[in-house]
Amino acid sequence: MAKQFLIYSLLGLVLLPWLSGCAGTKTLSGAGATFPAPFYIEVAKQYGDAEGIHVSYGGVGSGAGQRNLAETTVDFGGTDEFLSDEKIAKAMPMPIIHIPTCIGGIVIAYNLEGIEELRLTPEVISGIYTGRITEWDDPAIRELNPDVTLPDQRVIPIYRTDGSGTTFVFSSYMSKVDSVWREELGAAKTLDIKVGNAAKGNPGVAGVISSTPGAIGYIGSEYSMALGIPAAAIRNRSGHFIAPTMESISLSANLSDFPDDTRVMIADSPDPDAYPISTMTWLIVYKEQSYGHRSLESARLLQDFLYYIVGEETHEAARKTHYASLPPLALEKARAVIASMTYQGKPLSEP
């Protein structure tokens, strides 16, 4: 699956400019976060088979996806980091809207021969990425795992080099729950990590972890599940060690008060059974669609695809690619956001 995903992503990058310029061809193009890319690729194929519309998506990272939308070289961007009003005003030529599409976890994957279960806390994770914990048999790790024979082996932390929404979600969570991380590394799409090895994209980090004994790194849960890379159980807000599963990840999004604009972080859930490093991911588009030489037909085509991706037809695609579907309240808010799209000031749904 990893090879297939990489081929699809590279193919998407090659096709994006060509498809966008094909007059009269019913196509949509998008680019952005690698975290949800397997889901988007699966849904694009499903939608194309059902509607005869070609949708391409290039997994280039959240930061690049935001820039591509700002430059209007794609119809939609993908991001794991929602944009603040201030950032939208600074980075985008026009107002945008956020459409949540699915839920996943940021897991702490590792490569330790013979060890399939491991417990970690935010403090230990922080110690590894700040260089304070350098060996797998460090007392802090042994204390959490008394029944595990930990090796006398160097810890090799792996991190992202590209502007990454996955990094932003992970570092935002860590900054919230650990003061050392907050002071030394902070929350951002790129981090100044001085230990370990770097890789590009979720597939790149997953590949390095898989091939490097002693490695540990943060990746989207779907890559860990699809590739069979072990992931640690993390202590959550309630003090429970929770392994990342579709069930524990989806519990994070069961919010009683979901904002109308859908911009909300779901990490560090108060639910005692929720996996703590969970996130929604979003597609971003311009609310007003009559920009450049964009036609009404193209705008309505985009809206139709957005409705499709949050529809019941994609639940199986989410499960197949190891994501959790949005809960009912989030789906209701997502559809309301899509309905707010306009063309020359009028709702797209109007004839």
Taking the alpha carbons of 52, 58, 59, 62 in that order, is the dihedral positive or negative?
Answer: negative
> How many other C-beta atoms can be found within 10 angstroms of the C-beta atom of residue 151?
15
pLDDT tens track for 244-271: 999 999 999 888 889 999 999 999 999 9
Residue 11 CB contacts under 8 Å (≥ 6 apart), including other chains: 56
| pLDDT per residue as tens, the chain (351 positions) | 444 443 334 334 333 433 333 344 589 999 999 999 999 999 999 999 999 999 999 999 999 999 999 999 999 999 999 999 999 999 999 999 999 999 999 999 999 999 999 999 999 999 999 999 999 999 999 999 999 999 999 999 999 999 899 999 999 999 999 999 999 999 999 999 999 999 999 999 999 999 999 999 999 999 999 999 999 999 999 999 999 999 999 999 888 889 999 999 999 999 999 999 999 999 999 999 999 989 999 999 999 999 999 999 999 999 999 999 999 999 999 999 999 999 999 999 764
pTM of the complete model: 0.86
**DSSP one-letter code for 224:** H
Of 180, 181, 177, nearest to 239 (Cα)?
A: 177
Record the tokens describing residue 31, joined without a space: 């680019």
